[in-house]
């Protein structure tokens, strides 16, 4: 192995690979390999790198390569799930569904129905509308209702009779029987699936202006909507 003179060794032999790594703000596998090769090239011939230390550095490089490969494989796996996920929701198109939900959408055309189910007959049923800050803006008296699927209508006004801005709202149902006991309720979304989207790794069904996650589905009719 030829021995270079001291004058021929650059003041900072690692400048180029380190600068490249710094420019990228992260140490990639190519940068790591350059550092390793540069270290071997400029090691002190009278005090070479310890074989144990060198083996450890090679092991680190091998681990780094495996991590890059694993990350690439995972990325490909996620990408492959998108078309399969969309294929899984295609069968819901034009079907009537029932799902968990407590959203109300207010537009110039009016508000979406307040849909819910009662576990038993209720003498007093109130729908409470809340805005995006979770503040109650309207309480609607729905009167006495029987057990089962029910719905109410919100006119888009607040408790003072003022029109509220278009947007997304939420609702809850308070129900009591003739003795003042609480009747169980479930807020729901019911309607026909008109489309589907894939957002943030999740397939969502479009029901009117609502987006319904598959995990919120309760029931699906066996055939297309009439």
Q: How far is CA 92 from the centre of its chain?
A: 21
CB of 102 closer than 8 Å to CB of 108: no
Is residue 38 over pLDDT 80? no
Element (H, E) at 16: helix 15-24
Which residues, at least 6 apart from 194, have a Cβ–Cβ distance to it below 8 Å? 93, 94, 206, 207, 208
Tell me: the pLDDT tens digits for 183-223? 999 999 888 998 887 777 778 888 887 888 888 888 888 66
Q: State in Å, rounded, how far the first CA of the chain is from the last one.
A: 86
Measured CA to CA, the distance from residue 223 to residue 92 in angstroms comes to 9
Is the entire prediction scored with pTM above 0.75?
no
89 strand-pairing partners: none
Is residue 117 over pLDDT 80? yes
Work out whether the CA dihedral 193, 194, 198, 204 comes out positive or negative: negative
Tell me: the pLDDT tens digits for 134-152? 999 999 999 999 999 999 9
Nearest alpha carbon to residue 177 among 140, 144, 151: 144
Q: Residue 17: what pLDDT? A: 47
Give the SS3 label for residue 20.
helix
Domains and CATH numbers, the chain: 6-88 (no CATH), 94-221 (2.60.40.4070)
* DSSP label at residue 162: P
Beta strands in the chain (DSSP E): 95-100, 103-107, 110-111, 114-118, 122-130, 136-145, 148-152, 167-176, 185-199, 202-207, 210-213, 217-224
Q: How confident is the model at residue 177 (pLDDT cuts 50, 70, 90)?
A: very high
Q: How confident is the model at residue 13 (pLDDT cuts 50, 70, 90)?
A: very low
Tell me: the pLDDT tens digits for 66-99? 666 666 555 554 454 444 555 567 778 888 989 9
Measured CA to CA, the distance from residue 220 to residue 101 in angstroms comes to 15
Segment 162-187 shows an average pLDDT of 96
Q: Residue 129: what pLDDT? A: 97
Q: Residue 211: what pLDDT? A: 85
């Amino acid at each position: 192995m030829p021995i270079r003179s001291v004058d021929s060794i650059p003041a900072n032999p690692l400048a180029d690979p380190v600068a490249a790594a710094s420019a990228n703000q992260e140490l990639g596998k190519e940068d790591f390999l350059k550092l390793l090769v540069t270290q071997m090239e400029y090691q002190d011939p009278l005090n070479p790198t310890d074989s144990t230390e060198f083996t450890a550095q090679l092991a680190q490089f091998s681990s780094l390569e495996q991590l890059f490969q694993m990350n690439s494989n995972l990325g490909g796996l996620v990408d492959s799930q998108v078309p399969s996920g969309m294929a899984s929701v295609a069968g819901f198109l034009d079907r009537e569904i029932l799902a968990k939900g407590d959203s109300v959408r207010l537009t110039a055309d009016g508000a979406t129905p307040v849909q819910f189910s009662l576990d038993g007959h209720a003498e007093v049923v109130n729908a409470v509308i809340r805005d995006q800050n979770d503040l109650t803006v309207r309480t609607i008296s729905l009167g006495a209702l029987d057990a089962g699927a029910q719905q109410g209508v919100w006119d888009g006004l607040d408790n003072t009779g003022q029109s509220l801005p278009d947007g997304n709202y939420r609702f809850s149902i308070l129900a009591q029987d003739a003795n003042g006991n609480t009747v169980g309720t479930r807020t729901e979304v019911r309607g026909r699936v008109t489309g589907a989207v894939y957002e943030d790794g999740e397939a969502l069904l479009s029901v009117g202006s609502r987006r319904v996650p598959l995990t919120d589905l309760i029931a699906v009719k066996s055939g297309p909507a009439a």
